[in-house]
Amino acid sequence: MLIKEHIYTIPVTDAFRTAAGESACPICVMRRGLESDSLVYTLGPSYMEDDTRAQTDKLGFCPEHWEKLYACQNRLGLSLIMHTHIKYLSRIMDKQTDVKKPLKHAGMFAKSADPSEPLYKSLNEAECGCFICARVNRILERYIDTMFYMWPRTPELLTLARKCGGFCLAHFVMILKIGPDTLKESDWLEFMNAVFPIQRQTLESLEADLDWFIRKYDYRNAGEPWGNSKDALPRAIKAIGGAL
């Protein structure tokens, strides 16, 4: 393990502890923490640094993060960021009008002569990009690597994972994608042997609780106790859709 990755072991353990207390997915908790750090970072001194501003100019933000940045109340900071982002977009548009004419006559480059293609590519990059999502995902991948590294060495993680009911669907799928490439086969099998039963058990109990929740709508069951089913739907949404 790289020395650099050691700095991530504390946030990973903290996220598992918080997740156990909230019955939430630990990776959702990591993501939430990284998102709020990133909002502060984006509107902190970083936006006056040229390299950061070059990135926010190019990537912009997704609709959710524009909203969250606006809610942070730093109107001047966000206006400066938005101003140079719009200038960047305008430069792309201007470049497009410049290249339009020569491309029309460039018969031998006919394949790339569709004048809308560079405009589409450049604007699509800005439209699909988000400085905060990119930053969160980049650090989250480090956290997940660290989690894999810590797993066999830190039995507390398994205890906490049992308590929180495992990972949400999106993050379980993420684990399935990167785990086999990150861990050696025996470690991956050990990890899955521990986590798979937790995921399965969570689905089984949610299925049963939802079943009873639905059956409680039948007037014949009206007088029966709710058992664990009263909050089955929000719990299922959190387990499947992830925790905010």
Binding site for Zn ion (CB under 5 A): 25, 27-28, 62, 65, 130, 132-133, 168, 171, 242
Closer residue to Zn ion in complex, CB, 34/150: 34
Closer residue to Zn ion in complex, CB, 63/223: 63
Closer residue to Zn ion in complex, CB, 132/198: 132
Eight-class DSSP state of 111: G
At closest approach, how far in Å is the CB of 87 from Zn ion?
Answer: 21
Closest CA to 212 of 226, 223, 233: 226
The answer to whether 155 and 84 have CB atoms below 8 angstroms apart is no
Closer residue to Zn ion in complex, CB, 72/103: 72
Q: Rounded CA gap, 46 and 183, in Å?
A: 35
Helices 50-59 and 75-105 cross at an angle (nearest 10°) of 60
The answer to whether 25 and 167 have CB atoms below 8 angstroms apart is yes
At closest approach, how far in Å is the CB of 133 from Zn ion?
Answer: 3
165, burial (CB in 10 Å: exposed 0-12, middle 13-18, buried 19+): buried
Closer residue to Zn ion in complex, CB, 62/194: 62
At closest approach, how far in Å is the CB of 38 from Zn ion?
Answer: 9
Closer residue to Zn ion in complex, CB, 26/77: 26
> How many other C-beta atoms can be found within 10 angstroms of the C-beta atom of residue 219?
7
At closest approach, how far in Å is the CB of 37 from Zn ion?
Answer: 14
At closest approach, how far in Å is the CB of 99 from Zn ion?
Answer: 30
At closest approach, how far in Å is the CB of 169 from Zn ion?
Answer: 8
The answer to whether 191 and 179 have CB atoms below 8 angstroms apart is yes
* Furthest-apart CA atoms within the chain: distance in Å: 81
At closest approach, how far in Å is the CB of 98 from Zn ion?
Answer: 31
Q: Rounded CA gap, 96 and 115, in Å?
A: 8
Closer residue to Zn ion in complex, CB, 34/212: 34
The answer for 123, left when phi > 0, alpha when psi is -120 to 50, beta otherwise, is alpha
